[in-house]
Amino acid sequence: MSLSFAEEIKIPKQEWSFKGITGKFDRSSLQRGYQVYTEVCSSCHSMNLLSYRNLGEEGGPEFSLEQVKAIAANFEVTDGPDNDGEMFTRPARPSDKFVSPYPNVKAAMAANGGAYPPDMSVLVKARKGGADYIYAVLTGYTEAPANFELEEGVYYNKYMDGNKIKMSNPLSDDLVSYSDGTKASETQMAKDVTMFLTWAAEPHLESRHKMGFKVIIFLIILTILVYFSMRKLWSRINPEE
Amino acid sequence: MDNSGKKNNRRDFLFTATYAVGAVGLGATIWPFIDQMNPDSSVKALATTEVDISQIEPGKTVTVLWRGKPVFIKRRTQSEISEAQSVNLDELKHPEKDQDRVKKAEWLVMMGICTHLGCVPLSDKGEYNGWFCPCHGSHYDSSGRIRKGPAPTNMEVPKYAFIDDNTIKIG
Amino acid sequence: MSEQTYTPKSKFGKWFNDRLPLLSLASHLTDYPTPKNLNYWWTFGGILTFCLLSQIITGLVLAMHYVAHADMAFSSIEHIMRDVNYGWLIRYIHSNGASMFFLAVYIHIFRSLFYGSYKSPREIIWILGMIIYLLMMATAFMGYVLPWGQMSFWGATVITNLFSAIPLVGDSITTWLWGGYSVDNPTLTRFFSLHYLFPFLILGLVILHIWALHVPGNNNPIGIDVKKPSKDTVPFHPYITIKDLFALLIFLIIFSGFIFFAPNILGHSDNYIEANPLVTPKHIVPEWYLLPFYAILRSVPDKLGGVVLLFGSIFILMALPWLDSSKVRSSIFRPLNKIFFWVLVIDVLALGYVGAMPAEGLYLLIARVGTVYYFAHFLIILPVLSRIEKTQPLPLSITEPVLTGMPKAEFIKSDKRHV
């Protein structure tokens, strides 16, 4: 008998500003990442747990209120029924959820050759390896090895399970043009959008880190105080200690 | 003597400090459990509502939902306006000028909630040509002011603004 | 004991206490004589009480925001995580709290195994503890279903299917459990209802567990009875309370590390994918604290056999006080039992490890060996061992080793007369 492992694909670790106990997101990277999401990913991938208002909230991309309103107004949402009982469309408001590219899962599958492009709201937490994995897949498109068989509409990816993916390489150099002058290289875009998706999956990460730091310092102080109080008390029982 | 006194003080100080720090921690722990019952951010985001008023006929009232409560928007006729403006303030339980209750005389915007115990009054009913609350019989006039019955104050005017001639933003 | 003669000082206190002896109870709890030689392994009782209360309080809060419906459960959890004030904190306390609860309960159980706390006259405490443990597993399992992620759904499917192994009525029972022909909305709502109920049953049993404990009093590291209460024991408050508090704070530091800096490390990423009855995740694994049992289940190539062993592995523990007939409680004085205790610890850890791995190849072999050993430990090794083992001499009293500083080695030599 022998250990039978499926060949484990190693996901390379990246440096992320949000890692570590004082980790924070990079604001401008989040803003660029939103741009990549909305200009590239959002044509197939929904993010239906997010609202436009989230883009302006503390700890996120922190767009200004005006920017958030302008972003939301770019999208049409269905509202109603109005007084005549008809549904109507109106520009989205910050309180609206992100508009999905497809009306439902079936429509999304039909438009994508039977593969459902997963909702991206918590994608980073829903994949083993998290941000590193997303980044690896985005930058993992290479030529398939000579004897590797690929069906129609399936692409080769170094880091995907089984090396097969139904999404064609979504990113290429200068696919978007960043307003802050950053060069939109493929890796830069992959980094930015991964940062954005990490925030989307864990929007309170920064306040969690901040609070955790304070809580643990506090607990250590209290523990030390309790320890000495305990020593004092027990010295009545075991005087020699 | 001196020594043991000092020692006692230090012991008392240690226990007091432990209790104090512990109490602070307990207080800080309780807060999230209280605050979680306050309106969450998705509720707060809906704190304003925009209403299209272009379709409202003179003399008609529409009721819109704002923060889960009804808001009456009434397009008042000229006679209703003059009736509301001509009331002698001394007759009122809760004296308020009609002019202070509206931004444009034609439009009365107020919370559709009886100030007695929170029922929704009926439009165009009651003895004062305004609203009547069926729960306990409060009568309001065409400015939404209490005229008769148990309600203590006039119906409340929410914060609102005219974005343009046809749109009101409540909140 | 002193609490029997307790009379409140104030007139009102006396009037009240005559009608409802709450003050006598409080006095009993504060003065409760506790062996003074308890070590830090004994602080987990207090830690577990904290865990239970913390789970109940955070759970109560989560239930205010959670929606128990198959279409909305997943997004309502995300609503808690995103919108509710401090919702993320409260949910992470609850989800990691379950893990910490089990960590503490395992230490508590193994402490009892090592020091023989299950032995006469504490059998009822032990059995109540085992029932609590069973209810904890049921509660944790049903709680894990509530987020309605992929692991929730498929975990529920697999576990409820265990009952289909019962001959004749199996299928009817699973259908009854589900309220349909598969795990679906009716299953979710009944699991929510029971997940809310069970912690209060546990709380009731914990009260009985403590009551039963207060009859004979605590066991202690050297496992001998208290001889002279005035010398061997201390009042529970403040001596034990402060020690428990100190240990609890250390525990909370570790707990906070998980909550704030690695809140998802003990969970499974698949549970952030909404439940989909058409797609099964690649590896279905339960939460870490159920892994040893999962390994036992999978080690048997027969459906009914696996289920029988799974439940047998827990129920066998209830018979432990009668399987181990040694009169000596503490393993400090049982050289053989001490060794086999650690072998059992390693066996359970190994089972837990292979429970997380695919059931094939060497892993399956380890699982089978581990399962056989687990049952052999309780059914063969302990009964035999407790008859043939030459135990070491016991100390005269609790106070003696405490006062002589280095207890064991020196003490045992000088006390030959007690063989």
Identify all chain C residues contacting B47, using CB atoms and an 8 Å cutoff. Answer: none
Measured distance CA(C348)–CA(C380) in Å, rounded: 17
Q: Does B86 touch chain A (CB under 8 A)?
A: no
Is the domain of C105 the same as that of C245?
Answer: yes
Q: B20 to chain C, minimum CA–CA distance in Å?
A: 15
Contact predicate B165/B159, CB 8 Å: no
A164, A18, C272, A133: CA torsion to nearest 10: 10
Closest to B36 (Cβ–Cβ): which among C79, C82, C84?
A: C84
Partner-chain contact A125 C269, CB within 8 Å: yes
Which string of b and e fits A143-158 if b means at least 16 CB within 10 Å? ebeeeeeeeeebbbbb
Q: Does C78 touch chain A (CB under 8 A)?
A: yes
- Is a pLDDT exceeding 70 seen at residue C399? yes
Its domain, for residue C2, covers: 1-31
C-alpha triplet C84, B119, B142: angle, nearest 5°? 120
Closest to B22 (Cβ–Cβ): which among A53, A222, A232?
A: A222
- Interface partners of chain C (CB pairs < 8 Å, 3 or more) are A, B
**What local confidence, expressed as pLDDT, does residue B11 receive?**
63
**What local confidence, expressed as pLDDT, does residue B6 receive?**
58
- Is a pLDDT exceeding 70 seen at residue C394? yes
| Residue C172 falls inside a structural domain | yes
Q: Chain B: residue nearest C83 by CA? A: B41
| H helix or E strand, kind and range, residue A90 | strand A88-91
Catalytic (active-site) positions of B? 136
- Is a pLDDT exceeding 90 seen at residue C142? yes
Partner-chain contact C57 B35, CB within 8 Å: no
Q: Chain B: residue nearest A232 by CA? A: B11
Is the domain of C12 the same as that of C138?
Answer: no
| H helix or E strand, kind and range, residue C118 | none
Closest to B42 (Cβ–Cβ): which among C57, C83, C90?
A: C83
Q: Does B18 touch chain C (CB under 8 A)?
A: no
Is the domain of C252 the same as that of C353?
Answer: yes
| Residue C364 falls inside a structural domain | yes
- Interface partners of chain B (CB pairs < 8 Å, 3 or more) are A, C
What φ, ψ does residue B2 adopt, rounded to 5°? Answer: -50, -50
**What local confidence, expressed as pLDDT, does residue C379 receive?**
97
Residue A99 CB neighbours (<10 A): 17
Contact predicate C323/C383, CB 8 Å: yes
The DSSP call for residue B147 is E
Instruction: Find the mean pLDDT for residues B45-59.
Output: 85
Is the domain of C202 the same as that of C349?
Answer: yes
Q: Does B169 touch chain A (CB under 8 A)?
A: no
Residue C196 CB neighbours (<10 A): 17
Is the domain of C188 the same as that of C263?
Answer: yes
Q: Does B33 touch chain C (CB under 8 A)?
A: yes
| Residue C419 falls inside a structural domain | no
Is the domain of C286 the same as that of C200?
Answer: yes
Question: In terms of pTM, does the model score above 0.95?
Answer: no
Is the domain of C13 the same as that of C41?
Answer: no
Q: Does A23 touch chain C (CB under 8 A)?
A: no
> Is the bond preceding C199 in cis, omega lying within 30 degrees of 0?
no
Mutate to test the interface with C, among A18, A24, A206, A215 (most CBs of C within 10 A): A215
CATH number for the domain harbouring residue C50: 1.20.810.10
- What is the pairing mode between strands B69-75 and B130-133? unpaired
Residue A197 CB neighbours (<10 A): 28
- Comparing C-alpha atoms, which of B88, B106, B108 is closest to residue B97? B88
Q: Does B34 touch chain C (CB under 8 A)?
A: no
Q: Chain A: residue nearest B12 by CA? A: A229
Is the domain of C52 the same as that of C3?
Answer: no
Q: Does A53 touch chain B (CB under 8 A)?
A: yes
The DSSP call for residue B94 is S
**What local confidence, expressed as pLDDT, does residue B67 receive?**
86
Closest to B45 (Cβ–Cβ): which among A53, A83, A225?
A: A53
Is the domain of C22 the same as that of C137?
Answer: no
- Comparing C-alpha atoms, which of C136, C252, C130, C127 is closest to residue C203? C136
pLDDT, tens digit (0-9, with 9 covering 90-100), for C250-269: 999 999 999 999 999 999 99
Is the domain of C49 the same as that of C8?
Answer: no
Measured distance CA(A97)–CA(C198) in Å, rounded: 36
Partner-chain contact C87 B40, CB within 8 Å: yes
Identify all chain C residues contacting A222, using CB atoms and an 8 Å cutoff. Answer: 249
Looking at per-residue confidence, does B84 or A192 come out higher?
A: A192
**A27-50+98-202 CATH pick, 1.10.760.10, 3.40.50.1980, 3.60.20.10, 3.10.129.10:** 1.10.760.10
**What local confidence, expressed as pLDDT, does residue B4 receive?**
52
- Comparing C-alpha atoms, which of B79, B128, B74 is closest to residue B101? B74
Query: Could you state, in order of their start, the residue ranges of all structural domains in chain A?
Result: 27-50+98-202, 204-241
pLDDT, tens digit (0-9, with 9 covering 90-100), for A73-112: 999 999 888 778 899 898 998 999 999 999 988 999 999 8
Here the ipTM equals 0.93
**What local confidence, expressed as pLDDT, does residue A2 receive?**
38
Report chain A's mean pLDDT, rounded to a whole number.
Answer: 91
Domain count along chain C: 2
Partner-chain contact A221 B42, CB within 8 Å: no
- Is a pLDDT exceeding 60 seen at residue B72? yes
- Interface partners of chain A (CB pairs < 8 Å, 3 or more) are B, C
**What local confidence, expressed as pLDDT, does residue B50 receive?**
81
Looking at per-residue confidence, does C329 or A85 come out higher?
A: C329
Contact predicate B72/B109, CB 8 Å: yes
Is the domain of C11 the same as that of C95?
Answer: no
